[in-house]
Amino acid sequence: METIILDANSPENVKRCAEEIRRGGLVALPTETVYGLGANALNEKAVLDIFSVKGRPGDNPLIVHVASRDEVLPLVSVIPDVFEILAETFWPGPLTLVMQKSPEVPAIVTAGLDTVAIRVPGHPAALALLETCGCPIAAPSANPSGRPSPTTALHVKNDLDGRIPFILDGGDCRVGLESTVLDITGEVPRILRPGGVTYDELAAIVKEVDIAGVTDASDCPHRASDDPPRSPGMKYRHYAPKAPLTAVLGTPDESAEYIKLRMGDKVAALMFDDHAFDHPNVVTYGRSVDHEAQAARLFGALRMLDGMDISEIYAQTPDESGLGHAVANRIKKAAGKNIVDLSG
Ligand code: TXA
Ligand code: MG
């Protein structure tokens, strides 16, 4: 199968992709966070194909994308009180809400869980596609499982060429890393995965926000409890470039100093623009204080490192304020156990 990239600005192309989804096929679609690998969420066979194309473990549930708030109703059995204000404030946008599922949602979508994750994406092409195909679209990030997520149509083409018919090209993803996954089934809304909507933005809208325990306490500055991870996806190594990556935590000056001392022919560095030094293996991803730029450039930078002849990567890791929380989370996930904390 040849994978064709279609310009999302053409309504004809959106229609072609919508037809493909309606007939049970897969289409890569742009969202404001990352590109998704979409299929009709109500078609079990199509959803099964998502898992096989991605090589995704069957116990990791998918996010269901809908065109508007009204389309959530048939998919859930309970609408929690906080739903209305959260949807009103953050949708369309990078917030995914986990609620009790209705029988309408196939078990394969939710990996057998009794909850379903839903969002209205904030990219006009994603919304146009959803409106045109008239069904909810299940879509994980459009990368092979475990690898950095795609933020351009070319990233998807590099990853999935020959495995899907169409990539709807909506340009570079504005946010650049995935949505925040928020569980609203309990008394206090709980962040299962940090993402495009920050803790502070959520805390300004709902009285209390909790953060699920991730692999270790340093992952989450706002962490409030000790529970095991509840978002199944968070337990896997993720977002990983090919060469082993070490996340270096501390002030930007400290981490830059640490990395500089370790550079070599086969060693690469992922650096803030304002701390980069002159070396052929340095890749930058935004100024140290600019978490928005870091989010937008991180996955592209990891992919660039994959194109280099290196055997080791050191990454400057941002402080965890605002969107820095999600950026640091992705870098630490990519690092696995290789984390150096210079702050003592
Ligand atoms: O920004 C995004 O969220 C992108 C775009 C395409 O929308 N999608 C995305 O999907 O990142 P994926 O499959 O790469 O990540 C989905 C995350 C996983 O960590 C998964 O475990 C979690 O959401 N998740 C899905 N359904 C869940 C549920 N019912 N309960 C808890 N976590 C859930
Ligand atoms: Mg993913």
Give the C-alpha separation, 88 to 274, whole Å.
Answer: 38
**Helix (H) / strand (E) containing 18:** helix 11-22
Within a domain: residue 232?
A: no
| Residue 186 sits in the same domain as residue 52 | yes
**The domain boundary residue, chosen from 156, 191, 211:** 211
Our answer on whether the CB atom of 146 is closer than 6 Å to any ligand 1 atom is no
In contact, 160 and 37? CB cutoff 8 Å: yes
Query: Same domain for 131 and 275?
Result: no
Q: What is the DSSP letter of 282?
A: E
> CB of 180 closer than 6 A to ligand 1?
no
Q: Which residues contact 327 (CB under 8 A, 6 or more apart)?
A: 177, 291, 294, 295, 298, 317, 318
Report the predicted TM-score, pTM, of the whole model to 2 decimal places: 0.94
Gap from CA of 148 to ligand 2 centroid (Å): 8
What is the distance between the alpha carbons of residues 3 and 166, in angstroms, rounded to a whole number? 6
Measured from the CA of 177, which atom of ligand 1 is nearest? Answer: 1
Which of 319, 312, 318 lies closest to 338, judged by CA?
312
Give the CA-trace dihedral at 14, 176, 143, 266, to 10 degrees: 140
User: Which residue, by CA, sits nearest to atom 32 of ligand 1?
Assistant: 231
Ligand 1 close to Cβ of residue 178 (< 6 A):
yes
**Residue length, the chain?**
344
Q: Are residues 119 and 176 in the same domain?
A: yes
Helix (H, G, I), strand (E, B) or coil at 5: strand
* Cα–Cα dist 285/151, whole Å: 14
Ligand 1 in reach of 97 Cβ (< 6 A): no
Distance CA(266)–CA(161), nearest Å, equals 29
- Show which of 211, 235, 253 is a domain's final residue: 211
Residue 222 lies in a domain: no
Atom 18, ligand 1: residue with shortest CA distance: 233
Say what the pLDDT of residue 219 is. 39
CATH number at residue 265: 3.40.50.11030
For residue 144, is it within any domain? yes
CA 71 to mean position of chain CA atoms: 22
Nearest residue by C-alpha to atom 12 in ligand 1:
140
Domain assignment present for residue 262? The answer is: yes
Give nearest CA residue, ligand 1 atom 13: 140
Q: Provide the residues around ligand 2 (an ion) whose CB is within 5 A.
A: 141
- Tell how far CA 66 is from the center of its chain: 17
313 ligand 1 Cβ < 6 A? no
In DSSP notation, 214-260 reads -SSGGG-TT----PPP-SGGGGS--S--SS-EEEEES-HHHHHHHHH
DSSP readout, 76-91?
BS---TTHHHHHHHH-
- Please list the pLDDT of the chain residue by residue as tens digits (344 residues): 899 999 999 999 999 999 999 999 999 999 999 999 999 999 999 999 999 999 999 999 999 999 999 999 999 999 999 999 999 999 999 999 999 999 999 999 999 999 999 999 999 999 999 999 999 999 999 999 988 999 999 999 999 999 999 999 999 999 999 999 999 999 999 999 999 999 999 999 999 999 987 433 333 344 434 444 456 666 666 788 899 999 999 999 999 999 999 999 999 999 999 999 999 999 999 999 999 999 999 999 999 999 999 999 999 999 999 999 999 999 999 999 999 999 97
Range of the domain at 297: 245-341
Q: Residue 235 C-alpha to ligand 1 middle, in angstroms? A: 12
pLDDT, residue 235, reads: 62
Amino acid at 1: M
CB 272 within 8 A of CB 319: no
Q: Tens of pLDDT along 7-52? A: 999 999 999 999 999 999 999 999 999 999 999 999 999 999 999 9
Cβ 98 under 6 angstroms from ligand 1: yes
Tell the residue nearest (CA) to atom 3 of ligand 1.
179
For the CA of 117, the nearest ligand: 1
For residue 226, the model assigns a pLDDT of 40
* Residue whose CA is at the smallest distance from ligand 1 atom 33: 231
Residue 60 beta carbon below 6 angstroms from any ligand 1 atom: yes
